[in-house]
Amino acid sequence: MIVLAPTGNIDLAVLESLRQPLAAAYRGEVVIGKSLPLRPESLNPERRPTDAQAILESIPNASRGAWSLGVANVDLFVRGLNFVFGLADDAGRRALISLWRLRQEAYGLPRDDLLFRRRALTEAVHELGHAHGLGRCSSASCVMHFSNSLSETDAKGCDFCSDCRRKM
């Protein structure tokens, strides 16, 4: 089971759009959990992005046989990187994605809900893959391939390659 944990102000329709595709990708039930507030220690007054590690740590560790996915609508960073699309902790069976940089409007482009939801799904599947213990994949078309830009996220899509699917 995967529990979607909205973190901060998240549109319920976005969470609903993730449920069925995540259930298919991970072959299990996906439920929407209770909303988690953004903790003050996650906010960094010296820069706009929010500390992804602090938010991830606020997501409760998942119980045996379950995983938690935090979904935030803030710009995230981790030390050493200007931004991240998400972060995962396989020991706690939890992951986090940010919707902030997945929207066309963040770059001054026209809104595209279909593209936004595909990107959100890609990042959700990717980070949950890490929470399941998968590492990065060298196959550019695999969802577990590292992406540092939206063009790389768009290119890889949201499916596992045969090797990563077998590891699952």
- The answer to whether 161 and 142 have CB atoms below 8 angstroms apart is yes
Catalytic residue among 16, 41, 57, 127: 127
- Indicate the angle between helix axes 12-26 and 113-131, nearest 10 degrees: 50
Q: What is the DSSP letter of 10?
A: -
Q: How many CA atoms lie within 13 A of 92 on its CB side?
A: 17
Q: Where are the alpha helices (DSSP H) in the chain?
A: 12-26, 52-58, 113-131, 150-156, 162-167
Over its C-alpha atoms, the chain yields an Rg (Å, rounded) of 15
CB 86 within 8 A of CB 95: yes
Can you tell me the distance from the alpha carbon of 129 to that of 6, in angstroms, rounded to the nearest whole number?
Answer: 19
Mark whether 46 is an active-site residue: no
The catalytic residues are 127
